[in-house]
């Protein structure tokens, strides 16, 4: 599993097949399978990324 996304460190992640679908740029529906919780260095905030 990756340790960072877009320069943000992955703190924790969930893995399940029960997340919803998202419409991608090619108009296809893709299922979200991982939700990593991330933090950018020097930031007091957390970010949730939806990964296919």
pLDDT at 9 over 90: yes
| Full-model pTM | 0.69
Mind listing the pLDDT tens digit for each residue in 16-43? 767 889 898 999 999 888 889 999 998 9
pLDDT at 1 over 80: no
Could you tell me if 29 and 43 are in contact, meaning their C-beta atoms sit under 8 angstroms apart? no
pLDDT at 13 over 80: yes
For the residues of the chain, what is the DSSP string, one character each?
--SEETTEEEEEEEE-S-S-EEE-TTS-EEE--EEEEEE-TT-S--EE--B-
């Amino acid at each position: 599993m990756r340790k960072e996304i877009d320069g943000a460190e992955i703190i924790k992640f969930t893995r399940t097949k029960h997340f919803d679908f998202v419409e991608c740029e090619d108009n296809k529906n893709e299922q979200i399978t991982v939700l990593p919780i991330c933090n950018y260095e020097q930031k007091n905030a957390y970010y949730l990324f939806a990964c296919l």
